[in-house]
């Protein structure tokens, strides 16, 4: 049963000058198309869905485009693009698929920039958080983006039905995630620590979770821990296949939402490897 990719070309319409560029997702899309994946089109999330995660005043500011920070531009119509990316995460959760959309989401907290971070790190709406709230089931979130998912931590901190695991480079942007607290299990890792350390840490993290209490696994699937990318932990294509196998062993309905990763070739190959590992 091959995982379907949730994708709309609309997410390629803005921001060609930014490092979080349409090119990265477009290249990943081409690779997955060549490799025979099936694609499904998302619908935008409703405002009601967004309000399950974000403060009403923040959503109003986002609609007006009054949310710019040094990492996160106020693109024209960004509210609509962000709503479509969130809707794609909701659809991925419904069909156990992979949302290949931008903008990313895991740095967006309830009011925008999360846990005291200076910026929203290219994120507007926490797509994965919206999907988890809409599903409304006990969920394990596994964040494999190379940056700490500070927005996701802020949103689910203390939630008795959610466990949040994040492996990330530290010290590094956004500066949070140095230690575990409450239901948020953080695993700060040194730059370029490499696959062996990474996989050992992931297994250690997952052993801490009582899987009997979990019904769904939601993966914040960023690819900037790839060797040479923005938050490099020295991972390679094969590492993502091994991560996929480890996630499959949890034996739960699982969905994936793209976060960062700034080399399109690596995103496409990384997704294929992750899903190949997950499926066999």
Q: How many residues bind ligand Q9C (CB under 6 A)?
A: 14
Q: In 3-state terms, what secondary structure has residue 64?
A: helix
Query: Which of ligand Q9C, Zn ion, none is residue 269 near (CB under 5 to 8 Å by kind)?
Result: none
List the Cα angle 183/163/188 in 5-degree steps.
Answer: 70
Q: Which of residues 152-181 bind ligand Q9C (CB under 6 A)?
A: 173
Which sign does the torsion angle of CA 6, 275, 155, 19 carry? Answer: negative
Choices 52-60, 116-124, 177-185, 211-219 (CB under 6 A): range interacting with ligand Q9C? 116-124
Give the position of tokens 């490092």. Answer: 19
Tell me the C-alpha distance between 158 and 162, whole Å: 8
Residue 161 CB partners (closer than 8 Å, separation 6+): 137, 138, 139
CB of 71 to ligand Q9C, least distance (A): 5
**Footprint on this chain of Zn ion (rule: CB under 5 A):** 145, 147, 222, 224, 260
Q: Which of 143, 224, 229, 241 binds ligand Q9C (CB under 6 A)?
A: 224
Q: Which of 202, 259, 274, 278 binds ligand Q9C (CB under 6 A)?
A: 259
Q: Which of 7, 133, 139, 145 binds ligand Q9C (CB under 6 A)?
A: 145
Taking the C-alpha atoms of 199, 205, 208 and 211 in order, what is their torsion angle to the nearest 10 degrees? -80
Tokens coding 251: 């034996």
Q: Of 54, 106, 107, 168, which one is the catalytic site residue? A: 107
Q: How many CB atoms lie within 10 A of CB 64?
A: 10
The residue among 98, 127, 103, 89 whose CA lies nearest residue 11 is: 103
CB of 45 to ligand Q9C, least distance (A): 18
Query: Which of ligand Q9C, Zn ion, none is residue 71 near (CB under 5 to 8 Å by kind)?
Result: ligand Q9C
Tell me the C-alpha distance between 163 and 175, whole Å: 21
Tokens coding 241: 């296949």
Q: Is 18 a catalytic residue?
A: no
By C-beta, is 83 or 107 nearer to ligand Q9C? 107
Q: Which of 15, 42, 97, 104 binds ligand Q9C (CB under 6 A)?
A: 104
Burial of 121 (0-12, 13-18, 19+ CB in 10 A): buried
Using rule CB under 6 A, residue 241 touches ligand Q9C: no
Using rule CB under 6 A, residue 147 touches ligand Q9C: yes
CB of 114 to ligand Q9C, least distance (A): 12
The residue among 274, 159, 176, 155 whose CA lies nearest residue 225 is: 274
Using rule CB under 6 A, residue 234 touches ligand Q9C: no
Using rule CB under 6 A, residue 143 touches ligand Q9C: no
Using rule CB under 6 A, residue 260 touches ligand Q9C: yes
For the annotated catalytic residues, the residue numbers are 107
Residues that bind ligand Q9C (CB under 6 A): 70-71, 104, 107, 121-123, 145, 147, 173, 222, 224, 259-260
């Amino acid at each position: 049963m091959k995982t379907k990719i949730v994708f709309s070309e609309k997410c390629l319409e803005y921001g060609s000058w930014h490092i979080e560029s349409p090119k990265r997702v477009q290249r990943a899309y081409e690779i997955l198309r060549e490799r025979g994946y099936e694609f499904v089109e998302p619908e935008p999330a409703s405002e009601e869905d967004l309000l399950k995660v974000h403060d009403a005043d923040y959503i109003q500011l986002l609609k007006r485009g009054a949310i710019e920070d040094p990492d996160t531009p106020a693109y024209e119509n960004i509210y609509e693009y962000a709503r479509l990316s969130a809707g794609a995460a909701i659809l991925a959760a419904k069909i156990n698929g992979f949302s290949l959309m931008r903008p990313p989401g895991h740095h967006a907290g309830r009011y925008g920039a999360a846990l005291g971070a200076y910026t929203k790190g290219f994120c507007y709406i926490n797509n994965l958080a919206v999907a988890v709230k809409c599903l409304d089931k006990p969920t394990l979130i596994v964040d494999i983006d190379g940056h700490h998912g500070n927005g996701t931590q802020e949103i689910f901190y203390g939630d008795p039905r959610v466990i949040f695991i994040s492996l990330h480079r530290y010290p590094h942007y956004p500066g949070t995630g140095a230690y575990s607290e409450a239901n948020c299990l953080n695993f700060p890792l040194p730059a370029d620590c490499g696959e062996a350390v990474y996989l050992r840490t992931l297994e250690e993290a997952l052993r801490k979770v009582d899987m009997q209490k979990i019904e769904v696994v939601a993966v914040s699937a960023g690819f900037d821990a790839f060797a040479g990318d923005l938050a490099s932990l020295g991972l390679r294509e094969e590492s993502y296949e091994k991560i996929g196998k480890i996630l499959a062993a949890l034996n739960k309905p699982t969905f994936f939402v793209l976060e960062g990763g700034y080399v399109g070739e690596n995103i496409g190959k990384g997704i294929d490897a992750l899903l190949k590992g997950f499926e066999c």
